[in-house]
Amino acid sequence: MMAKTQAGRFITLEGGEGAGKSTQIAGLAKRLEDAGIGVITTREPGGAPGADTIRSILVSGDTDRWDPMSEALLNFAARREHLIRTIWPALERGHWVLSDRFADSTMAYQGYGHGVDRDLISALYRAAVGDFHPDLTLMLDLPVAEGLRRANERNGASAAAAEDRYERMDIEFHERLRAGFLAIAAAEPDRCAVIDAGGAADEVAARIWSAVESKFAADLAAAGRVGD
């Protein structure tokens, strides 16, 4: 499904609510750009016009608005549009794509969190995405109580509160979600790096850069700069 001319790199940031993905993706994009690399940032659900429409009905409303299997299907429909319209074309042009969430979130949220059969989610992945995978996934890990506290503080000062459907789900759901992300990372250590998302934002950013630099040392060197 993915063109064999991929020239860029695909990095995803994953994690539970309040882990700081939006802040960290912006910082990582700037550091890569400073290293001479062309970068685009995007998010899921969303990242393309049709995918953004699906996002609006997934992340708002009542917590029981959707059957979990319906959620999984909607996420993969949005993901397919995201890939075709945004991710794959950017990679073919040689850009590095940083995405706030990708398919690991569907496995964690709908699979581990809501109990949708995980083999079925894997089958949906093969149908919609094929054999394409992120080059690196950064799993931002944070205790559930701390993540929800951060998310609630953020929403209290932001219009993003309208997108708080998942944050309003019960604590047991969020514990299953965290366990799911960690299980995914443990199963694919070559692709995934677990990042301690606790502490100050600049401390987390340093941990992220260390993982990126380790994974892509040759690419960064070719771009003319490795770290500071």
Residue-level pLDDT at 226: 43
Tokens of 143: 């205790």
Average pLDDT score over residue span 122-150: 96
Alpha carbon distance 56, 66 (integer Å): 13
Q: Is 75 exposed, middle or buried (0-12, 13-18, 19+ CB in 10 A)?
A: buried
167 vs 30, which has greater pLDDT? 30
Domains of the chain by range and CATH? 10-220 (3.40.50.300)
Confidence of residue 69 (pLDDT cuts 50, 70, 90): very high
> Would you state the pLDDT for residue 227?
46
For the segment 203-227, what is each residue's pLDDT rounded down to a tens digit?
999 999 999 999 999 999 998 744 4
* Band of pLDDT at residue 161, cut at 50, 70 and 90: low
Rounded to 5°, the CA angle 193-153-165 comes to: 75
Per-residue model confidence (pLDDT) at position 152:
81
- CA angle, residues 30, 216, 82, in degrees to nearest 5: 65
Which pLDDT does position 164 carry in this prediction? 84
- Does 10 score more than 60 pLDDT? yes
The DSSP call for residue 18 is T
pLDDT value for 5: 57
pLDDT digits (tens, 9 = 90+) for 34-46: 999 999 999 999 9
**Looking at 56-60, 118-122, 177-181, 184-188, which range is the least confident one?**
56-60
Q: Is the pLDDT at 170 greater than 70, yes or no?
A: yes
Label residue 150 by pLDDT band (50, 70, 90): confident
pLDDT computed for residue 157 by the predictor: 53
What pLDDT digit, counting tens, does each position of 84-106 carry? 999 999 999 999 999 999 999 99
Higher-scoring residue by pLDDT: 140, 169: 140
φ and ψ at residue 105, rounded to 5 degrees? -65, -35
In the predicted model, what is the mean pLDDT of residues 12-31? 95
